[in-house]
Chain A
Amino acid sequence: MSTHLEPPTRLAEPAARSTSRPAGPAGLPRLLNAIPAQGAMGLADHLDVHGYPPLARNRRERRSASALIESIERAGLRGHGGASFPTAVKMRAVASQRGRAVVVINAAEGEPASMKDRTLLQALPHLVLDGGALAAQAVGAEEVILCVPESIALEGPERAIGEREEALGGESPRIRLATVPDRYVAGQESALVSHLNGGLALPTFTPPLPFERGVGRRPTLVSNAETLAHVALIARHGAKWFRELGTAADPGSALVTLCGSVAYPGVYEIEQGSSLSSLIDAAGGVIAAPRAVLFGGYAGSWVDGELLRGLALSDEHLAPHGASLGAGVVLLLSKDACGVAETARVSRWLAEQSARQCGPCVHGLDALATSIEEVAAGSARGKAGQRIAYFASLARRRGACSHPDGTVRLIASALEVFAADFSDHAKHGTCDACRRPGELPLPNGRTS
């Protein structure tokens, strides 16, 4: 297990650093191999550690660049941005369209608890850029756009892009940097495309999907930063190597942002299918008994803390519990927290994050947040559970993007996992735990 212990800065937990073990390409760490204790790995060191990216140098080699898509397909790589969509399917869809394609590296990472994409970009930018460049050649793109949140320091990515132009030159497709507003829905694919086309950074009505008509009306591959970092290694070592870690259904490794009540929260690289307990051990153990674990962030699902010992980290293992690894957020809620108060805070934040474009999302998420706030305050009248279920049914699958669906998913799992809290609140109103500052992280250190 490798650790990169730049703790999520939005969380007020103690910082820690440890040295990562040296490892061969087969074991862990893969992505986080030789990660510098501070700052970014420069291009020379990157090439020392990983070797040159197998970029095509001429037309003939470029024709065989599509072999990379086959390799990614055999590797079984799926996206690490949240939706777990097969990467090869997406790449092939872009490659089969007419006209020059565009590759968008999505490092917008709007999920408040997630830190893995910005960690990767700030510490190991060339792995991400290699992946973007290789994917570009495979789908026939000459332009790569790196999308980062406007709140992060741009010097690192700018320097990395500059280094490549000098050293790799013609072998590497042109890469440009673009900033994205710090907003939950801005990292959604169609919102990124709209933003890059000079429009608002808000989701659009689809189809056309980005692979059909994206940036500059060109076929566009939008891929998560970590996903492309895996592409950079699959291009070098192949599909068989990739499958030496993980399970048949969920091969390889994954970055997770572990946060909440553990001693050393941070970004870790795990083997797919490895146990949650071993991840928690690597993070110095729990600092308070966890009552529930949130997987995938605020469009994800809660799993009861009682089940913690038996949980393994992969989509296949988490599916029976109604959860998935998604974008890799693993958040431990302490037993001192109130499940209703936490759900109320986050539901309100999610309602505020609506792009305010679609009526059922605007009204539905607001009504959901209000209903949960009423339960939290003990002012709910009648059957609050039924009302929440009713508004959930009105919000689900009725927006242009999946923001309402993700919010409904989170609330539905909270109702299940925190059922006792909800019924206590319905009967007795606020509890002692309600008065504690919120544990679930929101941007700008917001706690209520």
Chain B
Amino acid sequence: MSHRLRVNPITCEAHGMCAELLPERITLDEWGYPILEEGPLEPELVSHAKRAAQACPTFALLLERHA
């Protein structure tokens, strides 16, 4: 089982919480929208990613589980 992050670009409003909570994988572009590093999450980052997804004010950050 691996975890991946995705952004729904339609609901994302560039609040930037995700980059604060998960700087290991997320940076912001010059307009404040998140740039996600690709690939599965390292296991030690999963709990941080979960927190970042929950903190997104528009629920645009998605933590997806892949079997």
Contact = CB atoms under 8 A, between A and B. Distances in A.
Contact of B33 (A204, A205, A398, A400): A398
Interface in B5-23: 8-14
Interface in A232-257: none
Contacts of A204: 10
Contacts of B8: 205, 400
B29 A358 contact: no
A357 interface: yes
A205 B61 CA distance: 13
A92 interface: no
A360 B29 contact: yes
Nearest to B33: A359
A285 interface: no
A205 B9 contact: yes
B64 to A, nearest CB: 10
Contacts of B35: 394, 398
Interface string B27-58: 00111110100000000000000000000000
B10 A357 contact: yes
A400 B10 contact: yes
Interface residues on B, range: 10 to 19
A363 interface: yes
Q: Is the interface of A mostly helix, strand, loop or mixed?
A: loop
Contacts of A358: 9-10, 12
A363 B13 CA distance: 12
Contacts of A398: 9, 33, 35
A20 to B, nearest CB: 46
B59 to A, nearest CB: 12
A213 to B, nearest CB: 16
A305 interface: no
A361 B12 CA distance: 12
Contact of B31 (A205, A359, A399, A400): A359
B10 A360 contact: no
B18 to A, nearest CB: 13
Max chain B CB contacts within 10 Å: which of A204, A359, A394?
A359
Interface in A127-167: none
Given A359-B31, A360-B29, A360-B33, A205 B12 contact: no
Contacts of B14: 359
Contacts of A357: 9-10
A399 B32 CA distance: 15
Contacts of A205: 8-11
A359 B8 CA distance: 11
B56 to A, nearest CB: 14
Nearest to A398: B9
A398 B30 CA distance: 14
Contacts of B32: 359
A179 B35 CA distance: 37
Interface string A88-114: 000000000000000000000000000
A210 B12 CA distance: 22
A357 B13 CA distance: 10
Most buried by A among B12, B29, B32: B29
A399 B29 CA distance: 14
A204 B33 CA distance: 18
B29 A400 contact: no
A100 to B, nearest CB: 29
A198 B15 CA distance: 30
B12 A359 contact: yes
B35 to A, nearest CB: 8
Contacts of A363: 31, 33
A205 B35 CA distance: 17
Contacts of A399: 9
A353 to B, nearest CB: 16
B17 to A, nearest CB: 15
User: Which of B8, B10, B14, B31 has most A Cβ within 10 Å?
Assistant: B10
Nearest to B10: A357
B14 to A, nearest CB: 6
17 contacts: A205-B8, A205-B9, A205-B10, A357-B9, A357-B10, A358-B9, A359-B9, A359-B12, A359-B32, A359-B33, A360-B29, A360-B31, A363-B31, A394-B29, A394-B35, A398-B33, A400-B8
Interface of B: 8-14, 29-33, 35
Given A358-B10, A360-B29, A363-B31, 16 more contacts: A205-B8, A205-B11, A357-B9, A359-B9, A359-B12, A359-B14, A359-B32, A359-B33, A360-B31, A361-B9, A363-B33, A394-B29, A394-B30, A398-B9, A398-B33, A400-B10
- Interface pairs A-B: 4 shortest CB-CB: A358-B9, A359-B33, A363-B31, A357-B10
